[in-house]
Amino acid sequence: MALGARSWKSEAGRHLLALLDRFLEAAGRAGKRRALQKVGERLEDEAGKAFREQGTTFEGAVADGADVAAATEAALSAGTPRMSRAVQVAVEGALEAGGQALAAEYGISFSLKNPRAVEYVRGYGAQLVTKVNDTTRAEIRDIVKRGTEEGWSYDQIAEEITDRFAEFAEGKPQLHIDSRAHLVAVTETGNAYEEGNRIVAQEMAAAGLTMEKKWLTVGDDRVSEGCRTNEAAGWIPLDEQFPSGHERPLRFPGCRCDCLYRRVRSEAK
């Protein structure tokens, strides 16, 4: 009877720990969303303004007689400074929020002066804007190719490109991403927040603690198979990659996943 009682208590304890884990996961996710809301909204707004500025510049260049290639480069140059500044500010804010969130759980401090944080931020804005511009060029090339194949006039092609810049800013709402500007904001603030978490975990490991990590999805029917596989791996050592080959979320632009970290104690082994 005593053995049965101990077994029941052990099972109840495991159940309570599982409930606690789920509560902490939900609380951590809610904290992340709150921390990223304002910084993400500011980046989305500025990215939208940059795309609109590019559209206006493209339209003006075409009206002045520039060909599509020259007008495209003029447009990208026009929006780059605003986009770079906005990304830099957003990444710094999200990185700091992510680092401080995990640091607070262990009673330590984190700031953007951390060498790992400095390394992450250095040149990040310029690198991202280069990628954004490369994506824009690719989309414009696709429009030109399609227009040429379908026999559009030059004016029709130019109008389609101008409309696409407006779409980048305002979008066509679908699922959790409203526009390309929104996608930039969600992706880059999410990446920076997750990197802030990871930096703190790395610092703790460097101090001699054994750390683990776990991939966490939102659990709905839109979660990709790759993210489900990462989550199914459970807790893994900090320095290991998840099955997808990633060190942490985000696995792709717009990914909604999170990464959890914990210190390995003797009773968890």
Question: Tens of pLDDT along 46-98?
Answer: 999 999 999 999 999 999 999 999 999 999 999 999 999 999 999 999 999 99
14 pLDDT tier (thresholds 50, 70, 90): low
CA dihedral sign of residues 118, 123, 126, 130? negative
Of 50, 68, 83, nearest to 142 (Cα)?
68
In this predicted structure, which of 5-19, 108-122, 155-169, 237-251 has the lowest mean pLDDT? 5-19
Q: What is the DSSP letter of 179?
A: S
Residue 64: what pLDDT?
Answer: 96
Average pLDDT score over residue span 133-150: 96
Residue 68's pLDDT is what? 95
Which residues, in sequence order, are CB contacts of 37 under 8 Å at separation 6+? none
The three-class DSSP label of residue 249 is coil
Alpha-carbon Rg for the chain in angstroms: 23
Poorest-pLDDT segment among 24-28, 66-70, 115-119, 167-171: 24-28
Decide: residue 105, CB within 10 A, 0-12 exposed, 13-18 middle, 19+ buried: middle
d(CA 43, CA 48): 8
Token reading at 180:
């390309």
Our measurement of the distance from residue 102's CA atom to the centroid of its chain's CA atoms, rounded to an integer in Å, reads 17
In angstroms, rounded to a whole number, what is the distance separating the alpha carbons of residues 193 and 96? 7
Can you say how many angstroms the Cα of residue 65 is from the centroid of all Cα atoms in its chain?
39
* pLDDT tens profile 120-135: 998 787 788 899 999 9
Q: What is the mean pLDDT of residues 145-168?
A: 95
Which pLDDT does position 177 carry in this prediction? 67
Q: Which two tokens stand for residue 67?
A: 């060909």
Kindly state the average pLDDT of the residues 199-213: 96
What is residue 122's predicted lDDT score, i.e. its pLDDT? 87
